Amino acid sequence: MSSTLNLLRISVNKQVLVKLKGGRELRGVLKSFDSHLNLLLEEAEEVKEGRTRKLGHVVVRGDNVILISPAA
């Protein structure tokens, strides 16, 4: 397994920030992922200009993901 997937495995059940193509940013608890970087987030919210919008459970298609990092 690659080091990227190992880092993601450590982040399961922790809050992450996900930057997507098109400038969208999501924050939520990473529940699962696969080798294509498809993500399942719980308690997800969209972060835009310092404001948040609650989304709940979200499935993110891996080809839209630019960056995944621990949430601050």
Q: What confidence tens digit (pLDDT) does each residue in 9-28 have?
A: 999 999 999 999 999 999 99
Interatomic CA distance for residues 22 and 6, integer angstroms? 27
Name the token pair of 24.
């969208």
Whether 1 has a pLDDT exceeding 60, the answer reads no
User: Counting Cβ atoms within 10 Å, is residue 35 exposed (0-12), middle (13-18) or buried (19+)?
Assistant: exposed
For the chain, domain boundaries: 3-70
Measured between alpha carbons, how far apart are the two ends of the chain, in Å? Answer: 27
Whether 62 has a pLDDT exceeding 90, the answer reads yes
CATH code given to domain 3-70: 2.30.30.100
Give the pLDDT of residue 6: 86
